[in-house]
Structure 1
Amino acid sequence: MNPTKLTEKKLKSYSPLTLPLVKKFNLLCEFNEAELTTLVQMHENSMSLDAQTTFLNQGTHSNKSYIVNRGWAYRYNDLSDGSRQIINFYLPGDIINPLATLTPNTAYSVASITPLELCEFKLNAFINPIIAQPRLSLFYAWILSRLDSIMADQTVRIGRLLAYQRTAHLLLEIFHRLEAVGQTKNCTFSMPISQHFLADTLGLSLVHMNRTLKKLRINNLVHIHADQVVLKDIKKLKKIAEYRPCDLAQTENLLASFSNKTNPDLKFAYGAA
């Protein structure tokens, strides 16, 4: 994969405010010009991939991180019996391999699901500007924290929830992640993955997956047509799945408490009075 350097003209054509990663930051606080400049610079090396293309391989060395600008990807591990476990999905605004500089040996594989637009960057090239802007540092930490929460949810789904609950929980998670970057409409979103992908994510057989989706449809909770998903009763789905979405309020207040100075008062960050 050879990234293409975006020209200044092409970068302007993107409209920075439409970049999913920028939308995420804007969800938490209003950014200033310096913060926006750094975020846009992280998008300068762009590449496009076809659907079903593996671009990170388990056990290989990579010091590159990737921002998903358009499309879906997934992280997975292949097993010796030929099966695979899908660990999580990468959606627009997500960062793939966010700590590549610190942990360059990849413990998983990543492949595109749809045609994919990625923006490649090396974290060490942005350490200084991120440190110089405390809210960006917190934003990056928040991204890592959200990834950790997604992995914790996946562990609970696979380990403790019934198939019906697992499916409801995953659909709610995807809905809220897409909602954060403006890619839902009312209770509807696009989900370009097959039942096979869902089964490999939720640890179910394809037959069991099909029956579970059918049950959700019969109970008038979820309707899926082609790649369009409609959550018909979010409140009931949350109760079934014991689902608790990410509370942005704490992070939003934390970011708002920071001035744009280089050395802000960090007492609030550590919960001090």
Structure 2
Amino acid sequence: MRIGLLGTGPWARAAHAPALSRHEGLDLTAVWGRRPDAARELADRYGARAYDDVDALLDAVDAVAVALPPAVQAELAVRAARAGRHLLLDKPLATTVAQGRAVVEAAERAGVASVVFFTVRFTAETAGWIGEQARRADWFTARAEWLGAVFTGDSPFAGSPWRREKGALWDVGPHALSVLLPVLGGVRRVAAASRGPGDTVHVVLDHAGGASSTLTLSLTAPPAAAGAAVELRGGSGVTRLPESAESAETALARAADALLAAARTGRRHPCDAAFGLEVTETLAAAEALLDGAAPA
């Protein structure tokens, strides 16, 4: 499958380009970026062609992988789907429900496959653990802590304008939800949301399965306090999300596997654009509470 890469930033260079170029089922043939010089440099490194025009790139590929800010991703994903191109997207799918719904509707109308890259859902240890816990129905409550030091440590993403604008809720919130939703069920109600130090937020969720969960999310944690943890409690006891040593490149290669399988079989993947929209809807409801408005 010929695939084009949209985006040339740190995430595209660290994960997308190496994973896609080395994948046996993919041919990375095209790169587009908002900075043409960066697109040419990345394309040259991986033997691809740099494009100045997105539509010209879409004419030359079968699928696209997107490593761009979510608002830009949503707009380009709609264009790619309408052109009949399969979609390997990043989280969050979008930062408004309307944007996310537009991607889902475009993909469904065009009949193209979509996969949203939630890292923990494509890492062997964590994906296996999530699947095992989802088969149990006696969970009582859960807590998820995703504490990053993006703006307090030495992170290549510290200069990201959209992360500074939207904060931890939208950057690491999707990771937490990608673990909790398949285990506890969809979110019936965002019960509470409050702000902490820096961009830290605390969110309380009621799930369709009857359990509740709490999320603590931050990109401004002290580096010594950074880390991620998920704990589930119920009739089966207490269990915690395992750590993984796998690289993002390896996980992204599995996401590419999933896209190829969905395109070949026509069966949707659990982490498709519709799931990405579900995550976006939950985050938007939490954001509305944080801003003092009633959730839609």
* TM-score, with length taken from structure 2: 0.22
Task: Pick the structure with more strand per residue.
Answer: 2
Q: How high is the TM-score relative to the length of structure 1?
A: 0.23
